[in-house]
């Protein structure tokens, strides 16, 4: 049974799209997506430096564009081989496109709105995020509560990303939970917290402007929600969850639990891959994981897909 997952913000690297654009048609496709996102994805994916692509308004459509480009190159239109899909944070928009809830063009347009809106919300007050690695879960939660911080990403494998005021994050680093390490992250603000509430309204307006889907718009591939790891119940549910996600925690640990319950045998992480396969290797024993990092991985990724498509059993759990 094949799961295809899509990475989130922070996975981008300078020049990561250059090899993909050598493949037929992909340069033109990315160019058309640039117009939809309001961001030059071709330039940012090939020549922009690390500081430039760290900008939230650039990073989000760039990452979703990379995932959808790699999906196009590896899977083509044969999405029937995918049993379940999920995406971490902004990656959930790429997963929604794979599931058929959104078209790739709609996903790119919405992420352009999301990235710009979240960048504006982050600029309104000084906040940030830090990874907390290790420690006992109860101790970590207690320390975050004590400092008024939010576990904005609960990733499993002993990894929680704390978000909130910079002073509180500094206090966390100075006195971390027992047997835990704190690593400040290079992000613009406290994503997936109430700090992002202004961005929710902007994204909701963009979602409300989407045209009605052909047919019922039901997902053609099981799509897991960041909110609780549940399989979404139709297009309206999926879109509502995508909007709420902006100001609410990402529960990737619960997404991984659902993948295990459904009997996934192989997990393919689309470009720019690496982070989610790393988590899977710690939390999904027995599940083979493959990270698509460049266009050179495309042939091996197709072989991986062929090996796992249709294997195992599914349960809605």
Q: What is the percentage of the chain residues whose pLDDT exceeds 70?
A: 98
Q: What is the pLDDT of residue 186?
A: 84
Predicted confidence at residue 79, as pLDDT, reads: 83
Residues contacting 302, CB < 8 A, separation 6+? 74
Starting at the edge strand found earlier in the chain, the sheet holding 2-6 runs: 222-223, 84-87, 2-6, 266-269, 288-291
- Can you give the pLDDT at residue 154? 97
The whole-number pLDDT of residue 218 equals 83
Homologous superfamily (CATH) for 2-122+194-308:
Malonyl-Coenzyme A Acyl Carrier Protein, domain 2 (3.40.366.10)
- Mean pLDDT of residues grouped by 10 in the chain (317 residues)? 96 96 96 97 98 96 98 90 97 97 97 98 96 96 98 95 98 97 93 98 97 84 97 96 98 98 97 96 96 97 93 46
Task: Return the active site residues.
Answer: 89, 192
Superfamily of domain 124-184: Malonyl-CoA ACP transacylase, ACP-binding (3.30.70.250)
Report pTM. 0.95
Give the pLDDT of residue 312. Answer: 52
Cβ atoms of 245 and 92 closer than 8 Å: yes
| Structure-block tokens of residue 55 | 């900008």
Positions of CATH 3.30.70.250 in the chain: 124-184
């Amino acid at each position: 049974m094949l799961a295809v997952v899509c990475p989130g913000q922070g996975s981008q690297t300078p020049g990561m799209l250059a090899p993909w654009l050598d493949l037929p048609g992909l340069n033109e496709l990315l160019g058309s997506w640039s117009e939809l996102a309001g961001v030059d994805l071709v330039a940012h994916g090939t020549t922009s430096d690390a500081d430039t692509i760290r900008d939230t308004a650039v990073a989000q459509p760039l990452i979703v564009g990379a995932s959808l480009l790699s999906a196009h190159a590896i899977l083509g239109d044969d999405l029937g081989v995918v049993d379940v899909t999920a995406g971490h944070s902004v990656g959930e928009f790429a997963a929604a496109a794979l599931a058929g809830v959104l078209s790739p063009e709609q996903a790119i347009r919405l992420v352009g709105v999301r990235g710009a809106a979240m960048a504006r919300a982050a600029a309104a007050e000084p906040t940030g995020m830090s990874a907390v690695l290790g420690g006992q879960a109860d101790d970590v939660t207690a320390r975050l509560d004590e400092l008024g911080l939010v576990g904005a990403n609960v990733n499993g494998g002993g990894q929680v990303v704390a978000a909130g005021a910079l002073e509180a994050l500094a206090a966390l680093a100075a006195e971390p939970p027992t047997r835990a390490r704190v690593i400040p992250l290079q992000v613009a603000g406290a994503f997936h917290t109430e700090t992002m509430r202004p961005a929710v309204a902007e994204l909701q307006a963009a979602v409300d402007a989407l045209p009605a889907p052909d047919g019922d718009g039901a997902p053609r591939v099981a799509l897991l929600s960041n909110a609780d790891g549940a399989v979404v119940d139709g297009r309206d549910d999926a879109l509502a969850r995508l909007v709420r996600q902006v100001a609410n925690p990402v529960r990737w640990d619960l997404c991984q639990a659902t993948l295990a319950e459904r009997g996934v045998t192989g997990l393919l992480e689309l470009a720019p891959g690496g982070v989610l396969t790393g988590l899977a290797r710690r939390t999904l024993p027995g599940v083979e994981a493959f990270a698509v990092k460049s266009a050179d991985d495309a042939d091996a990724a197709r072989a991986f897909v062929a090996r796992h498509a249709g294997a195992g059993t599914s349960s809605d759990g």
